[in-house]
Amino acid sequence: MKKESGSKITSHEKPITCVLYNSTFKQVISSDTGSTITFWMIDTGQKIKQFSGCHGTSEISTMALDVSETRLLTGSTDGTVKIWDFNGHCHHKLNAGRDQAAEISQILVLKRTILVVGWERIITVFRFNLLTQYLIQPSEWKGGVQHHDDILCAAFYLPQSLVTDSQVRSAGRRSLSSLSSGKHSRSASSIHNANSDSNNSVTRLFFLGARKNTSATGGSILVSCGGSGYVRFWNIFRNHLMAEFVAHEGAGSIIMTVDKTNQYIITGDLDGWLKVWDIQDYCIDYSEKKTTDPPQLVKSFQPHSDCVTHLETCAYSQSLLILSASADCTIHVSDVFGTPVGIFGQEEHWIIEKCLHENERNHVSENSEGDTSHTNNKESVTSTTYCDETTELGDTLSSSLLTEDKEELPFKISPWENTILGKKYKDFGTKEKLHSNRREDSVQTSVGKLCDISPACVP
């Protein structure tokens, strides 16, 4: 890849908040704190369209695709969710904040229902059969307020299960409740002493839906991550924490994603590091004893110079790609072994088949070498090699993208620092770096709310 006039390559002008992959159109969709949405071709890295001012001057905090992948939903700090087609036309505006600015942290799109979370400790429901006009008011919510703080994340599991978790600052117990009736059905036991709010914060929840017969084998079906760099695996059928480990030591709050086959989880931290973990055979059988041994670490690498804000996976051909977005205003494309494909926004477009073939050859030749973990010296970033469509197969050009431009970008501010939720993450990260010597009995963990969704809301 060619050096671009000595300036740092960026994908957006403002810090990036979310990145999605549309497998139907083979496009990557990204958003930023400046309310801009950009569409990219995964095959070449080419920018194909961009929409500005989608929520005025308000930050786009999250995005989601509908089931058909023909509609894009954007959530903003202005308290609204907008539904767009790919020509930039907004079909509906969902009044999730009820005319108030509100921090929307996640949008869950089911077959008949849209669930919006992130403020007032409740879930707001919109039903597709009621989307008959432009401005849509939320449907009645029966569950009431059941969280102690803003809901940061949620995950849905067929046929009728929803898990949510909130960032809890005080000691307490989480409960499993009925979403359809709003009544508590059973309680999850407290696992640890409640001495640390930051350890307890949860930023991402994923069901491992590709795992089979987990109710019979007793394996974990839910994975969470969050404060103090922890990743946890849960058996929700027995309300049991099966495993927890520190994925990023001293890194504060982390985020993650899971590929659709549930073979890998990818974690990212506040310093721009990514780690790829092989969980294919991890916690697949029940055990009363909680393990603190981590799964196999496939690769640890640092594609970004600032915090990782969102992660997505992309299955292309026979390869699995990682899309990582950051507050450094870049979106990197890498494979699961950390080999880079390119950065959206670079001058030279890539040919992805050529890149993947070259990456596979390199991986085979280096397969005998073990993975090396990064050190605490965050300034020692190694040079990375990117695919260039102008070179012959097997030829690459090295570029120290993260070290060649030492000056701070004027817009290089973490999105977390600009949002209510982000300020909490930053506080936790700072506190944890000052208290890196942790004792296991100071960690509070708990399952979020496992709820039953009424049949009307379920596909």
pLDDT value for 428: 47
pLDDT interval class at 427 (50, 70, 90): low
407 inside domain: no
Q: What is the pLDDT of residues 309-361, one digit of tens each?
A: 999 999 988 899 999 999 999 999 999 999 999 999 999 999 988 888 777 77
Parent domain of 32: 16-364+412-457
324 inside domain: yes
State yes or no: pLDDT of 64 exceeds 60.
Answer: yes
pLDDT interval class at 79 (50, 70, 90): very high
Contact 174, 451 (CB under 8 A): no
Q: Name the token pair of 176.
A: 């499993």
Residue 390 is classified by DSSP as T
CATH number for the domain harbouring residue 447: 2.130.10.10
If you write DSSP's letter for every residue of 111-147 in order, what string do you get?
SSEEEEEEETTEEEEEEGGG--SSEEPPBP--S----
370 inside domain: no
State yes or no: pLDDT of 396 exceeds 90.
Answer: no
8 inside domain: no
Look at the chain and report how many structural domains it folds into: 1
Go through the chain and tell me how many residues it has.
Answer: 459
The pairing of beta strand 308-316 with beta strand 319-326: antiparallel
